[in-house]
Structure 1
Amino acid sequence: MGTEVIEKKLNKLPDNLKLKVEGYIDALLMEYHIDESATESTSFQVKAGFGGGKGIIGYMADDFDEPLEDFKDYM
């Protein structure tokens, strides 16, 4: 499907639905780690097995494994 077909369909939608489409496109770009300024689309694949998701999580806090303050009453 070419961009011309998508553009024609998009132009038929009311503004509130165009905003939903834009949000969906943004979500897809984030999910597949596609730079919006990139001219070529790149796919993102996860390798099966241990370590297959390496590099997906960009930041993890140093105290990630520490007990949460909210659950102190239950411990």
Structure 2
Amino acid sequence: MAESLMKIYETMPATAQKELYDFALFLLSRNENKKSAVQKTSHFGGLKDKISYIAPDFDEPIEDFAEYM
């Protein structure tokens, strides 16, 4: 396949060769972007060891919201 591509490439005018080269670079960069776009998914308990302090009254009602309750 590489040989047939090179034959086609060599028969093209210089401007078309430049376009083909630029397009190949675009395809390579797009492929690299897809690889880096993979995100980690969250999972239950993922922050278990990340929270170091929670106030003792964390679950208590907030006084400022008393009029809305």
Using the size of structure 2 for normalisation, the TM-score is 0.48
Question: Which has more radius of gyration?
Answer: 2
Using the size of structure 1 for normalisation, the TM-score is 0.44
* More helix per residue: 2
